Amino acid sequence: MGAPIRSSNEIDSIINRGQHSIADLGHELVNAAKLGKDSNDPVQREKIYRLILLRAALQNLLTPDGVIKNFYLDSANEIPKNKVLDVIAKLAKSFDGTSIPFLGQKRIPLYFFPSSSGLSSSGGASGGPASPGGITFQNTSVDSPGEVVDSFNASDSEFAFYIYSVRGSNSGEGNRTGILILSWRGTDVKIAGDIKTEDTGSGLNTDGVTFSAAVNAGLLELTCNVPTDNWVVKGTRILFQNISFQNPLGPLPTGGTTGQLLVKSTDEDYETEWTDNITVIGIRVASQGSNNPYAVFVNSVAGTGNGLIGWDIVGGSLISGSLAGAFIFGTPSAKPIQFGTNNAIRLTIDENGDITARKSIKLGVGLLSSSSARVGGVVYSSVTSIGNSGVSDTTLYSYTVDSYALPNNGDTLEIFACGINASPGSNFVRIKIGGVTRGEIIISPATDNTWMMRGKLVRTSSSDCLFTYEARGGIINTIQISTAIGPTQSASTTISVTAQGAASNEIIGKHVQITYQPTISITNFQRSETRLYGRCCRYSQ
Amino acid sequence: MGQITFITEIQNESADASTAELVDITTGYGGSNPDRDELALYLKLFKRDSSLADTEVIVDNTTPLTVSNWAFNLAGDGWYVGLVYGFPIWAAGSFLSGNCVYYNNNYYKANTNTSGTPGISPNWDLITDIQSEVGAYATSLVSQTQTNNFTTAIAESGPIGDDIQALGQKIVNGKCRDWNDAASVIYGAALLESAWVNFRRADYAIAQEIVDYINSQFANAA
């Protein structure tokens, strides 16, 4: 073929000029575009096509690594090579510059990453979430010359995939299944495919059954054209830009009733079932029939519920004896319920139903004008008849109060004791706090043959209490008010009622009762305290 | 000790163009230069826009002895400036004042001639800010190279990718139904090529301008 028309240096120079022109043209085009130029501008258009053609010519001549392709190195192809070089030289015009290196010893190729490919599980930013499956359609009586069998908003997509079946109802008409693909832009709709099975049914056919599509009033309509009446057309439509074929959802299980939930039935992929009961991390949402929705907090996935909350519509369904229509919170087994605040248990209902409150209970909140009533109660009671023994001081009743039993200033223990004087004389009945006599009556012959003492032990600070008392049936001794006595916040105290006579059983205790009375707003209730215990109340004003 | 000019390149862009890797493709290890296993590499990566403003891109520098590529989140197409520092790995011996080393997950500079152990001997100062402190050091103390790197993954996966995808729908039996659409796609690809060539001839800011234009204006051209 003769000697090369161009030297290698000349060829390198032309390629080099082409590369520089691509660089410059791109920059010029972008700058012009920013100034409002587009392809309607002849200069801009000329540069666009020059850029395109230059790139095409260089790609034609060079490998991705920037060396001349073997085809053009073959001397038999000198002429086409020189034609390509001519194109590059002309399109590059007169520009020249230094050689442009390749990066990393190779040309950087143009990669193509489809923006909505393969991201079926989460969907790409422009593809939207994958929606496995498709939309089914059917028209069970398509009459000649044809009817719309499926329609949807044409703006939902620009392409669709159909799987269809047709079935004739008249003599000689058979069945077939096929596949269609549709593409549309605006009202321009193209339909292709119709890859179909042969007609089924011996001697039967589906001749004359075709499909067409059009956009009408914004709806993409698929029409089945038939030669006779009563064709059954069914199928599935997939707008396949959003379809995932990577992890298709398997068929749903059959059956199920309204309101039931789909849950995993085994650890195998896609194995599911319909159920009323769902266990999620120890919580089972269940219902009994359709009337008693409730949640059970279980101690294991398959374990027995230890706590439930729900609505017992019919009564007695969730917990034995529950009322119809009641909202139930409880334990169906022998378990306590506890309520806590501020990381401390405040109220306990044990498995036997006993209720324990760590502090006072308020009643009538919002009903009383300025405060609420606090609920106290009897903490100790005895009706055992006990007499004194000999001439010594005999403990008739005794009760130990825990430390912190009176947590608030004003909290009170009321001690009531009564009995009889079996043999009136110079006998003594005493109330002792912590073993120390704080109240004492002397029963003389002139007194009644019954006696009664009532004392109040009121907390005044975290370290001491005030004790006062009144009595009947005897002479109140001089000890009437005692301070700086227990129980304190840190120490327990024993409260006892004792008796001392000239002989055994001269004093008989019949009843003692200790009542806890929590404090309320002291300011609001001073007068009440005065009225009840006017003899010696510390709070009298 | 010889000095190495580090070479890096952006590779392995993810399909959704959210991440990529800056790969060490340095060819100068060994010979009169340190071997790779004699150096601890530390990378500072920046995204530089067309007005030359930098935004740091966080990379993982916790494996300096073995790292050969740094994963990072793509903060846009275009120009990524990498500052690659190569610290000799400390071993017992004598070091001159000013010598920098890597030892026990830290970087040190000798404040006097020393044979002490970095982190124990007071003769070593802990380097806390490599860019500000080491950047001023001589390359005889720490091999350091600014590398320029380029990617168009976002444009390719976004506007150009979408246009190519859309064009595919219009090619039936090998025939393109709309030459204008095809031309638009080819034009976008040609602009990407132009950006690359500008980058290769060191017109980094221009390359950045072109990919910015593609990403902001070229979408749905087809």
| pLDDT at site A178 | 92
Fold (CATH) for A135-238: Immunoglobulin-like (2.60.40)
Residue A436 has pLDDT above 70, yes or no: yes
Under an 8 A CB cutoff, do B156 and A111 touch?
A: yes
**Nearest chain B residue to A124, by CA:** B16
| pLDDT at site B66 | 94
Q: Which of residues 18-37 of B touch A (CB under 8 A)?
A: 25
Mean pLDDT of A232-253: 63
Mutation site, A111, A183, A185, interface B, largest B CB count within 10 A: A111
| pLDDT at site A462 | 79
Under an 8 A CB cutoff, do A30 and B210 touch?
A: yes
Residue A541 has pLDDT above 50, yes or no: no
- Chain B closest-CA separation from residue A71 CA (Å): 23
**Nearest chain A residue to B186, by CA:** A52
Under an 8 A CB cutoff, do B194 and A23 touch?
A: yes
Under an 8 A CB cutoff, do A98 and B201 touch?
A: yes
CA–CA dist A310, A173 (Å, integer): 59
| pLDDT at site A536 | 32
* B205: contact with A, CB 8 A cutoff: no
Structural domains of chain B ordered from first start: 8-90+126-150 (2.60.40), 152-216 (no CATH)
- Chain A closest-CA separation from residue B59 CA (Å): 22
**pLDDT classification of B209: cutoffs 50, 70, 90:** very high
| pLDDT at site A244 | 45
Of all residues in chain A, the percent with pLDDT exceeding 70 is: 74
Query: Please, are residues A502 and A426 in contact by the beta-carbon 8 Å criterion?
Result: yes
**pLDDT classification of A161: cutoffs 50, 70, 90:** confident
Query: Please, are residues A446 and A460 in contact by the beta-carbon 8 Å criterion?
Result: no
> pLDDT tens-digit profile of B77-97?
999 999 999 999 999 999 988
CA–CA dist A140, A122 (Å, integer): 36
Indicate the domain borders of chain A. 8-92, 135-238, 273-358, 377-532
CB atoms within 10 A of CB B71: 12
Under an 8 A CB cutoff, do A27 and B210 touch?
A: yes
Q: Which residues of B touch A125 (CB under 8 A)?
A: 16
**pLDDT classification of B158: cutoffs 50, 70, 90:** confident
Under an 8 A CB cutoff, do B157 and A108 touch?
A: no
Give the closest residue to A310 by CA, choosing from A325, A289, A320: A325
Q: Pick the range with the lowest mean pLDDT from A169-178, A201-210, A328-337, A356-365.
A: A356-365
> pLDDT tens-digit profile of A356-404?
876 667 766 665 555 667 778 888 999 999 999 988 999 999 999 877 7
**Nearest chain B residue to A54, by CA:** B190
| pLDDT at site A130 | 36
Mean pLDDT of B18-47: 91
* B196: contact with A, CB 8 A cutoff: yes
Q: Which residues of A touch B150 (CB under 8 A)?
A: 103, 108
Q: Which residues of A touch B209 (CB under 8 A)?
A: 27, 30-31
| pLDDT at site A205 | 92
Mutation site, A61, A103, A191, A240, interface B, largest B CB count within 10 A: A103
Residue labelled with tokens 């258009």: A45
Omega before A487 cis (within 30°)?
Answer: yes
Please indicate whether residue B100 or residue B138 has the higher confidence score (pLDDT): B100
Mean pLDDT of A272-300: 65
| pLDDT at site A194 | 84
Residue A538 has pLDDT above 90, yes or no: no
Q: Which residues of B touch A124 (CB under 8 A)?
A: 16
CATH architecture, range A377-532: Sandwich (2.60)
Under an 8 A CB cutoff, do B210 and A51 touch?
A: no
CA–CA dist B123, B110 (Å, integer): 6
| pLDDT at site A102 | 55
CA–CA dist A510, B6 (Å, integer): 103
Q: Which residues of A touch B164 (CB under 8 A)?
A: 112, 114
Of all residues in chain A, the percent with pLDDT exceeding 90 is: 19
Residue B63 has pLDDT above 90, yes or no: yes
- Chain A closest-CA separation from residue B190 CA (Å): 6
Mutation site, B12, B200, B208, B214, interface A, largest A CB count within 10 A: B200
* B112: contact with A, CB 8 A cutoff: no
> pLDDT tens-digit profile of A225-241?
999 999 999 888 887 55
Question: Does the global pTM surpass 0.80?
Answer: no
Q: Which residues of A touch B161 (CB under 8 A)?
A: 112-115
Q: Which residues of A touch B192 (CB under 8 A)?
A: 110
Q: Which residues of B touch A181 (CB under 8 A)?
A: none
Give SS3 for A309.
strand
Mean pLDDT of B147-151: 90
Mean pLDDT of A296-304: 54
Mutation site, A22, A31, A116, interface B, largest B CB count within 10 A: A22
* B200: contact with A, CB 8 A cutoff: yes
Burial grade of A32 (CB within 10 A; 0-12, 13-18, 19 or more): middle
| pLDDT at site A288 | 57
Residue A108 has pLDDT above 60, yes or no: no
* B8: contact with A, CB 8 A cutoff: no
Please indicate whether residue B19 or residue A538 has the higher confidence score (pLDDT): B19
Give the closest residue to B219 by CA, choosing from B152, B156, B171: B156
Mean pLDDT of B55-84: 93
**pLDDT classification of A421: cutoffs 50, 70, 90:** confident
Please indicate whether residue A7 or residue A151 has the higher confidence score (pLDDT): A151
**Nearest chain B residue to A115, by CA:** B157
| pLDDT at site B163 | 78
CA–CA dist B25, B47 (Å, integer): 20
Task: Assess: ipTM above 0.90.
Answer: no
Mutation site, A27, A34, A46, interface B, largest B CB count within 10 A: A27
What is the DSSP code (8-state) at residue A71? H
Helices and strands, number each (H, E), in chain A: 5, 32
Reported in sequence order, the residue ranges of A365-409 that DSSP labels E, i.e. its strands, are 373-375, 377-382, 386-387, 394-401
**Nearest chain A residue to B26, by CA:** A104
- Chain B closest-CA separation from residue A53 CA (Å): 9
Mean pLDDT of B168-184: 78
The backbone torsions φ and ψ at residue A399, rounded to the nearest 5 degrees and listed phi first, read -150, 130
- Cα A68 from chain centre: 63
B192 membership: H or E segment, kind and range: helix B179-200
What rounded mean pLDDT belongs to chain B? Answer: 87
- Chain A closest-CA separation from residue B115 CA (Å): 40
CB atoms within 10 A of CB B37: 11
Mean pLDDT of A185-208: 89
CA–CA dist A176, A38 (Å, integer): 52
Q: Which residues of A touch B197 (CB under 8 A)?
A: 19-20, 22-23, 26, 100
Q: Pick the range with the lowest mean pLDDT from A225-229, A256-260, B81-85, B123-127.
A: A256-260
- Chain B closest-CA separation from residue A92 CA (Å): 13
| pLDDT at site A415 | 94
